[in-house]
Amino acid sequence: MTSPTPVPGQLASYWEFILENFSQLVVATLEHAEIITISIALAVPIGVGLGVLITFDERLATVVIWLAGVMMTIPSIAMFGLLIPFVGIGAEPVIVALVLYSQLPVIRNTYVGLTDIDPAALEAGRAMGMTRVQLLRKVQIPKALPVIMAGVRNSVVILIGIAAIGAFIGAGGLGTFIFDGIARANVPMIVVATIILSVLALAFDYAFKVSEQVFRLKNGEQIEPSRLTRLIQRVRA
Amino acid sequence: MITFENVTKQYEDGTVAIEEISFTVERGTTTVLVGPSGCGKTTTMKLVNRLEDPTEGTVYRDGDPISEFDPIELRRETGYVIQEIGLFDHMTVADNIATVPRLNDWDEADIDARVDELLELMDLPPETYREQYPTELSGGQRQRVGVARAFASDPDVILMDEPFGALDPITRENLQNEFLDIQSKLDTTILFVTHSIDEALKMGDRIAIFDVGEIVQYDTPQAILNDPKTAFVEDFIGSDRPLKKLKVTNVKDVMSPTTDGFATTSGANSAAEMVQSDGGESVTPLTPTDTALSALSRLVESDHGRLPVVDDDRVVGTVSDEDLRQCNRGVQQ
Amino acid sequence: MSEIVSGFEYLIDNFDEFLTLLQQHIALVLVSELAAIAVAIPASILAVRNARARRVVLGVGNVAQTIPTLAIIALVFPLIGIGFWPSVIGLWAYAILPIITNTISGIENVSDDTVEAARGMGMTDWEVLRKIQVPLALPVIFAGIRTSIVLNVGTAYLAFFIGGGGLGLWVVGGIQLYNMPQVLAGAIPGALLAIGADLVFARIQRRLGGESDVNNPTAGAA
């Protein structure tokens, strides 16, 4: 079987596809963003909570981070397959899987952000009469925020890709177009959906990068801020 | 006032850091804890703000056992400076200094005024340094901020653990001098830990010399130099004890009252021209607050057997090598 | 639990087919991974030695890393076609990235003092690279290969959609037919394969003197 090749001459068929399916594409993109948003909204409190918890016990930290790491190595198709008997099909198993997949970057970055701190600063804080909670709130968390943000950013990018595969078990979103496109050998469908998906990933990545940079600048770190970050700084000032 | 009464501290792993230590730090004085590393001096200091608690014995603050204080409250009333400084790198200089006042819910306007006052005191112009981050400062500037932070809420007691240990010699010397100057204007009780006997002799009103977990001598710098109680102390001071003694002694305490023919001239432009010997030669004079060591240095390089001491434009006495030797009589066996 | 047992039964009953699928799966992973290593490491070395190449490689790499795996597999179909080799090319393209980023950062993170000391002893740039930087960067490079191969085992499931075969056949087919034992019989071995590869490479990485996973935050400053 030879496959069709997208050449400039076929550009018209891409336009046609976009115009014909515009509203469905918008809906699929929104669905995709919705699944990601729900998953991240669930995943971040769990991951940050666990990350904070394991700062109290080093052995627990090793175990939890190892488990989260194992979770992440499970192939997404296999993970969906493992979840279907228990959660069924549709968006639910995909969201469960996404929450599980996002744990490693969030937990580990929270843990590292909170513990990778100048021990002298911690001692000074304690000696100045900060309580354990004040130390966390005033010293550790502000210092850890950009690192946690980097973990969330990392998660989100991974999740957008996995959520696309989730379309296969009925979660909806942009993956639906890609799978349909492959099944029907509809090249414009594959290419357009793939491009939107990639742009979505890049957009989320950029948004989180900017928020990470805002936190870093707030902590007085010397970084080269992106254009949007600089704009936000200027608006805030 | 801080009192240690038979204090022993044993860590969970069994090491005994200090054993049966007793001493008293008078209000408004600087007491230096000095000794080789691992002798228990830092542990002793940490007992004062309850970063550690004693296994046995009692530490008192102004007569009350500190076990009755809430550790958090206690620490907010106790300044703390360490060698690694421990500035919060994610906060500006001003926010770092304002840490304890904020914990104590001061008014923001008061905090601002206090931060500026301390930055001025530490020779860091507020308009330049307030909004800088610690990573933008040099080592010496960082430690100035560390000291300012410790003074922020005007604590009665300040604990300092090798505060100038990581600085280059010139910066260290400057900060020591400025700190002595600040301390002389305030009524703060200071507990200062160092491993350098020179720093101890310079900074301390009293010095506690530590040897593996106990205080072997607790005395004024002069008394320690005059009369080291054990071979360890003598060893720790080193073979240049007479010179150290001269360094902690002022010219006014060794000079002879005789003016020996020196007189001030009128209309002199500088100190160097001010005093003339009876031979009509100009001699740069000493002042009463110069150290005896600098007097010795000047004697060695001068042609004169005696140097004049001038106070308020008047020759008040002279110093000769014999006077310096007198000063060291107690030192040499 | 009964699901897992029935999945196991399905696997035993169809063991010959399972071995064929597993072979295909491993072949996809191994061929694409070896090709990725063969391209990624020279490309990284080139990037380290040439500022413009570095900018291009890292720029393309960072963007490409955010593109979903499904997107890459799906694009192979119209661009190259279907079957084993197109699948290998898709997997290869995705496997290169983690190795490149790790190799570059591994080499660049060798301390300047060490490099200067080596130069001071009269080593040429090439000798510094071969005798000092690459050996010291080896744990980090292996960490990249580890990430890459684990991802690859998972992505290889998607190869089924473009006719590449592998364990995806059972999982995808099982889901379509709602045949849960078949899904599990395809999913569990793949999960174990990925976890196993991860453990083996973690051990190699540690033997090479790499850091533990616990204190290794995922980067994001770039």
Q: What is the pLDDT of residue A1?
A: 42
Q: Is the model's pLDDT at B5 over the cut of 90?
A: yes
Q: Express each pLDDT in A155-166 by its tens digit.
A: 998 899 899 999
Q: Of the candidates B82, B136, B149, which has its C-beta nearest A120's C-beta?
A: B82
Interval B304-316: pLDDT, tens: 788 888 887 788 8
Which chain B residues contact residue A119 at CB under 8 A? 84
Q: Flag whether residue C2 sits within 8 Å of chain A, measured between CB atoms.
A: no
Mean pLDDT across chain B: 88
The 10s digit of each residue's pLDDT in B191-245 is 999 999 999 999 999 999 999 888 999 999 989 998 899 999 999 998 888 888 8
Contact check, Cβ <8 Å, A127/B159: yes
Q: ipTM of the predicted structure?
A: 0.78
Q: For the residues of B249-285, what is the DSSP string, one character each?
A: SBHHHH-BS--TT-EEPTT-SSHHHHEE-TTS-EEPP
pLDDT digits (tens, 9 = 90+) for B9-34: 999 888 889 999 999 999 999 999 99
Most confident of A13-17, A40-44, B268-272, C134-138: A40-44
- Residues from chain A that touch B137, judged by Cβ atoms under 8 A, are none
Tokens for A7, please give them: 């050449």
Contact residues, chain A, for C66 at CB < 8 Å: 157, 198, 201-202, 205
In chain A, the domains with their CATH numbers are 13-201 (1.10.3720.10)
Q: Which chain A residues are closer than 8 Å to B86 by Cβ?
A: 118, 120-125
Instruction: Read off the pLDDT of each residue in B94-121 and give the average, rounded to a whole number.
Output: 93
For chain C, the structural domain boundaries read 2-207
Mean pLDDT of A23-27: 92
Confidence category of residue B106, pLDDT binned at 50, 70, 90: very high
- Highest mean pLDDT among A36-50, B281-295, C38-52 belongs to A36-50
Q: What is the structure's pLDDT at A46?
A: 96
Q: What mean pLDDT comes out for the span B239-258?
A: 86
Give the pLDDT score at B204. 92
Give pLDDT, residue B333: 39
Question: Among all residues of chain A, which has the CA nearest to that of B79?
Answer: A128
CB contact under 8 A, A74 and C154: yes
Q: Which regions of chain B does DSSP assign to beta strands (E)?
A: 2-10, 16-25, 30-34, 56-61, 64-65, 78-82, 157-161, 189-194, 206-211, 214-219, 263-264, 275-276, 282-283, 306-311, 314-320
Query: Which residues between 72 and 101 in chain C have a beta carbon less than 8 angstroms from any beta carbon of chain A?
Result: 74-75, 77-82
Spatial separation of the C-alpha atoms in residues A194 and C74, rounded to whole Å: 8
- Chain C residues in contact with A175 (beta carbon < 8 A): 70
Number of neighbouring beta carbons within 10 Å of residue A211: 19
**C-alpha to C-alpha distance for B98 and B136, rounded to whole angstroms:** 18
Between B79 and C220, where is the model more confident?
A: B79
| CB spacing of A81 vs C187 below 8 angstroms | yes
Q: What is the pLDDT of residue A116?
A: 85
- Measured between beta carbons, which residues in chain A are less than 8 angstroms from residue C76? none
Domains recognised in chain B with CATH numbers: 2-248 (3.40.50.300), 251-327 (3.90.1280.20)
Predicted confidence band of residue A2 (pLDDT cuts 50, 70, 90): very low
Is pLDDT above 50 for A180? yes
Mean pLDDT of A120-145: 91
Burial A30-67 (b: 16+ CB within 10 A, else e): ebbbebbeebbeebbeebbebbbebbeeeeebeebbee
Least confident of A54-63, A223-232, C43-52, C181-190: A223-232
Q: How far is A66 from chain B (nearest CA, A)?
A: 30
Please answer yes or no on whether A82 and C194 come within 8 Å at the CB atom. Answer: no
| Mean pLDDT to the nearest integer, B51-79 | 92
> Residues of chain C with pLDDT > 90: what percent?
24
Band of pLDDT at residue A221, cut at 50, 70 and 90: confident
- Residue B51: list chain A partners with CB under 8 A: 123, 126-127
Within 8 A by CB and 6+ apart from C79, the residues are A3, A5, A6
For range C20-37, the mean pLDDT: 94
* Contact check, Cβ <8 Å, A150/C171: no
- Per residue in C63-74, pLDDT tens? 887 788 888 888
∠ CA A56-A152-A54, nearest 5°, is 10
pLDDT at C38 over 90: yes
Give me the pLDDT at residue C209, please.
Answer: 73
Range with top average pLDDT, B275-279, C3-7, C107-111: C107-111
Residue C144 DSSP code: H
B49 at A interface, C-beta within 8 A = yes
Classify C2-207 by CATH class: mainly alpha
pLDDT at C222: 26
Inspect the interface and report whether the beta carbons of C213 and A111 lie closer than 8 Å: no
Partner-chain contact C221 A223, CB within 8 Å: yes
Answer yes or no: is pLDDT of C22 > 90.
yes
The pLDDT value recorded for residue A39 is 95
Is the confidence at residue C220, as pLDDT, over 70?
no
Residues 288-327, chain B: which have Cβ within 8 Å of A? none
> Is the pLDDT score of A75 beyond 60?
yes
- Lowest average pLDDT, out of A183-187, B14-18, B269-273, goes to B269-273
What average pLDDT does range C180-187 have in this prediction?
88
Question: Which of C67, C172, C213 is opposite residue A77, by nearest beta carbon?
Answer: C172
C-alpha to C-alpha distance for B262 and B18, rounded to whole angstroms: 55
Closest CA to C137 of C97, C107, C104: C107
Q: Give the minimum alpha-carbon distance from A82 to chain B in angstroms, rounded to a whole number.
A: 44
Q: How far apart are CA A124 and CA A130, in angstroms?
A: 9
